[in-house]
């Protein structure tokens, strides 16, 4: 590979490293090219990208983007970089499923919000509900007190009418 090509690949990686929802690094030593195509298709469906690059190029890009994180140990052996463009939880779920189904990926680590997480943290992330489910739970939690107040306010006039009807019935029975 000539120097210009290497510089271009490093620039692409730097862009990927700086514009993402999260990164996951995986060992792909057992992966065949047909399997990488299947993985790429599954990741494309959730707006994520699989990059297989030389460790030296990945290290160069990472050193410029993540000055406080040492990724030297991660970029040893066959390392794939999965870039999540929108939802890191969905990406972690898909990778976990792929690792279980095909036994070709071993998750090494990840980076979320500029913080390095280990493989167990990525597994935990994969167990979380999706972003949409979490947002729905938050919204329903916020709306629950409002619904209770509306219900209470709707019941007050009804209780007043029932109380007045009982008083009227009581007075009528006293008169008769």
* DSSP assignments along 67-134, one per residue: TT---TTTTSSSEEEEEESS-HHHHHHHHHHHHHHHS--EEEEEEETTEEEEHHHHHHHHHSPPHHHH
pLDDT beyond 70 at 26: yes
Give the residues across from 115 on adjacent strands.
Answer: 112
pLDDT value of residue 99: 86
- For range 143-168, the mean pLDDT: 82
Q: Domain 3-128 adopts which CATH fold?
A: Alpha-Beta Plaits (3.30.70)
pLDDT beyond 80 at 147: no
pLDDT beyond 80 at 176: no
- pTM for this predicted structure: 0.73
pLDDT (tens digit, 9 = 90+) per residue, 50-76? 999 899 999 999 999 998 898 989 999
């Amino acid at each position: 590979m000539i120097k210009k090509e290497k510089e271009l690949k490093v620039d692409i990686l730097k862009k990927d490293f700086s514009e993402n929802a999260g990164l996951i690094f995986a060992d792909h030593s057992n992966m065949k090219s047909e399997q990488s195509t299947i993985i790429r298709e599954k990741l494309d469906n959730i707006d994520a990208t699989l990059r297989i690059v030389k460790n030296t190029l990945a290290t160069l890009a990472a050193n410029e983007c993540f000055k406080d994180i040492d990724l030297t140990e991660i970029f040893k052996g066959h390392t794939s970089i999965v870039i999540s463009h929108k939802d890191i939880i969905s990406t972690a779920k898909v990778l976990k499923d792929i690792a279980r189904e095909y036994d070709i990926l071993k998750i090494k680590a990840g980076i979320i919000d500029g913080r390095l997480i280990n493989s167990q943290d990525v597994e935990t992330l994969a167990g979380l509900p999706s972003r949409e489910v979490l947002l729905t739970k938050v919204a329903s939690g916020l709306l629950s007190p409002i619904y209770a107040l509306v219900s209470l306010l709707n019941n007050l006039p009804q209780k007043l009418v029932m109380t007045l009807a009982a008083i009227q019935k009581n007075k009528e029975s006293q008169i008769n």
